[in-house]
Amino acid sequence: MLDVDTGIDDACALLLAALHPGLDLRAVSCVGGNAPLAQVVSNTLAVLHTAGRDDVPVGAGAIRPLLADPVDARHVHGDDGMGDLGWPRSPREPDQRHAVELLRDTLREAAARDERVTVIPLAPLTNIALLLRTYPDVAAGIEEICFMGGAANVGNATASAEFNVFHDPEAAAVVIDACADLGIRLRMYGLDVFYAPAVTREQAQALVDHDQQGPAGLAGRLVLFQCERFGADSGTIGDAGAVCAVIDPDGLTTKDFPVRVELGGTWSRGRTVVDMRDWTGDLAHDPHGQANTRVAVGLQVDAGSYVDLWLRTLRGEL
C-alpha cells in the first residue's frame, strides 16, 4: 500500500508499484501535501488509469495536517502537482471510504488471511498517524512501514527539515512513537538518499519515445519537467526510491538509530533528530536521555540499480 501526495515523484512511485510484477498493490491513500487533497486524488487516479490499474482502490484522506498550517510544493511539482502536463484524467471516482478506513480494512483483511502488508508512505504522515492511533490492531497486518521522509543530515523545505515531516511534524512524531509502541518495523528513506537515484534527460526522452501516452511516456515527461524546472541534466525518481527499497532491500544501506521529531524550534521545527551517539558518557549526561524509538535510517543507496529497476519496469522489461 502507498500513501501519496501525488506529485511528480509520487507518480513515479505509483507507476513502479502498479507495474512491477513482484508487487501486489492493494490500495493507495491520498493526503494533502505537494498539492491540495482534491488535486492529489485526481492525479493519483489518473496515474493508476494510465498504468491500467483501475482495480486498485484509492482513498481520499486528510485534507490538512494535524496541527500545522498547510503548505504545498507546487513550486516544485507544478500548479497541478503533475508537471502541468494536462495529463488525461481518470473516469473513475475514489473509494467511498475515508483513506484511513480504506487502509484499516485492507490491513485487517490481510491479518485475517495471516498475511502482512508493507505500507509505503510517500507524503506527510497525517493518514498514517490517524490510522495507527485510531486502529492500533492493524499492526497485525503490517510487515513494515518504509516511508520517504526526514533526513539524518539535511533539509529541503527548510535548512533543517524535509518536506513531508515539515508539513506535519506532529504526525511524523506520532508515527515514530506508535511504531515503537506497536512493534512495527520502520525504515526511513530520507533526503540523505532521496536525490541520488536520478534519470538523465536522454533516458527520460527514451521513455517518452517508448510509448507516448502510456506509463513510460508519462514517467519520461515528468522527469523532463523536473530537468526543465531545475535547469538540470537529470531528475530524481524521488519517492520511487522508497518503493525500490521494498523490491530490493539490499540496495539501501540502513542503520538503526533513536529518532525524535523537533516540534518546537524556530529554525528546526520538523527536523528528524537522528541520534547517532555511541558513547555512554554523553548519553549518561544528556538530560533528555535517548529516545525509546528505533528507526532503520537510510544512509546509502545503490542509485544505479534503483534507476535501472525503475526504467526496466516502466519499459515493461520485467
Q: Which residues are catalytic?
A: 5
Indicate whether 192 belongs to the interface with ligand RIB (CB under 6 A): no
Q: In this structure, what is the dihedral angle of CA atoms 94, 170, 165, 173, given to the nearest 10 degrees?
A: -110
Indicate whether 236 belongs to the interface with ligand RIB (CB under 6 A): no
Indicate whether 73 belongs to the interface with ligand RIB (CB under 6 A): yes
Q: Of the candidates 3, 162, 177, 302, which one interacts with ligand RIB according to CB under 6 A?
A: 162
**Coil/strand/helix, residue 73:** coil
Q: Which residue is nearest to ligand RIB (CB)?
A: 163
Going by C-alpha positions, the residue among 155, 131, 99, 121 that lies closest to residue 7 is 121
Q: Of the candidates 2, 3, 8, 10, which one interacts with Ca ion according to CB under 5 A?
A: 10
Q: Which of residues 233-292 bind Ca ion (CB under 5 A)?
A: 239
Number of Cβ within 10 Å of residue 277's Cβ equals 12
Count of H helices and E strands in the chain?
13, 12
**Coil/strand/helix, residue 30:** strand
Residue 9 CB, nearest distance to ligand RIB (Å)? 5
Indicate whether 72 belongs to the interface with ligand RIB (CB under 6 A): no
Q: Of the candidates 5, 95, 168, 302, which one interacts with ligand RIB according to CB under 6 A?
A: 5
Q: Of the candidates 2, 7, 37, 293, which one interacts with ligand RIB according to CB under 6 A?
A: 7
CA 10 vs CA 175, 212, 250, 263, 283: distances in Å = 20, 20, 22, 26, 38
Residue 10 CB, nearest distance to Ca ion (Å)? 4
Residue 217, CB-side half-sphere exposure with 13 Å CA sphere: 10
Indicate whether 168 belongs to the interface with ligand RIB (CB under 6 A): no
CA 5 vs CA 101, 155, 171, 241, 244: distances in Å = 18, 19, 15, 15, 18
Per the CB < 8 A criterion, the answer to whether 19 and 51 are in contact is yes
Place of cell 500513501: 3
Going by the DSSP 8-state scheme, the letter that residue 31 receives in this structure is -
Q: Of the candidates 87, 163, 189, 306, which one interacts with ligand RIB according to CB under 6 A?
A: 163
Indicate whether 169 belongs to the interface with ligand RIB (CB under 6 A): no
Q: Of the candidates 3, 10, 144, 302, which one interacts with ligand RIB according to CB under 6 A?
A: 10
Indicate whether 33 belongs to the interface with ligand RIB (CB under 6 A): yes
Stretch that binds Ca ion, among 50-58, 70-78, 231-239, 242-250 (CB under 5 A): 231-239
Per the CB < 8 A criterion, the answer to whether 101 and 135 are in contact is no
**Coil/strand/helix, residue 261:** strand
Place of cell 522489461: 317
Indicate whether 220 belongs to the interface with ligand RIB (CB under 6 A): no
Stretch that binds ligand RIB, among 159-167, 202-210, 250-258, 261-269 (CB under 6 A): 159-167
Cα separation of 81 and 41, whole Å? 11
Going by C-alpha positions, the residue among 255, 287, 288 that lies closest to residue 274 is 255
Indicate whether 122 belongs to the interface with Ca ion (CB under 5 A): yes
Stretch that binds ligand RIB, among 1-9, 48-56, 222-230, 272-280 (CB under 6 A): 1-9
Q: Of the candidates 17, 56, 123, 219, which one interacts with Ca ion according to CB under 5 A?
A: 123
Task: Name the residue nearer to ligand RIB (CB basis): 31 or 179.
Answer: 31
Indicate whether 7 belongs to the interface with Ca ion (CB under 5 A): yes
Going by C-alpha positions, the residue among 118, 135, 143, 148 that lies closest to residue 178 is 135
The site for ligand RIB (CB under 6 A) is made up of: 5, 7, 9-10, 33-34, 73, 122-123, 148, 156, 162-164, 238-239
Q: Using CB under 5 A as the criterion, which residues of the chain lie in contact with Ca ion when the complex forms?
A: 5, 7, 10, 122-123, 239
